Amino acid sequence: MTKPLGIAADHAGLDLKRALVTELEKRGIAVRDFGTTTSDSCDYPDFAHAVGRAIETDEIERAILVCGTGVGMSISANRHAAVRAVVCSEPLSARMARQHNDANALCIGARVVGTGTAIDIVDAFLGATFEGGRHATRVAKINLA
């Protein structure tokens, strides 16, 4: 990955986002943090859309989005045609989402998984490669004309 990895959270995901940034930096992965930066209550779509716009403009290739369940972030991010966001609560889905679906945004629920599992999910997502071939044909059919 040549571009920084985007990361964002709402207030519910802030602590997990901070833990993930620490882990990513330990792995030498450059991170671009889109917020939030305080525990004040905030609205997950604001952050999902900031990340979605950055994917659309090629400023970043991939991102991690954290909220309470990962659900609101994924619904919002998927409004951007260039985004394929997935909510994952275990590593297998994260790996397959890269290999078969070319997912570019990983959403995690901070109220759903613990930090250790979240790190395993992120490692699975970042360590996997899109397989192309028949999967590329299917991914090309996802967006409506």
- Residues that bind ligand RB5 in the complex, under the rule CB under 6 A: 10, 12, 44, 67-69, 71-72
Question: Toward ligand RB5, which CB reaches closer, 12 or 122?
Answer: 12
Smallest distance from ligand RB5 to CB 45, Å: 9
Contact 7, 125 (CB under 8 A): no
Question: Toward ligand RB5, which CB reaches closer, 83 or 95?
Answer: 83
Contact 18, 42 (CB under 8 A): no
Of residues 67, 80, 88, 107, which has the active-site annotation?
A: 67
Question: Toward ligand RB5, which CB reaches closer, 102 or 105?
Answer: 105
Contact 79, 111 (CB under 8 A): no
Contact 62, 105 (CB under 8 A): yes
Smallest distance from ligand RB5 to CB 3, Å: 26
Smallest distance from ligand RB5 to CB 59, Å: 24
Active site residue 100: yes
Smallest distance from ligand RB5 to CB 38, Å: 14
Question: Toward ligand RB5, which CB reaches closer, 69 or 104?
Answer: 69
Looking at the annotation, which residues are catalytic?
A: 67, 100
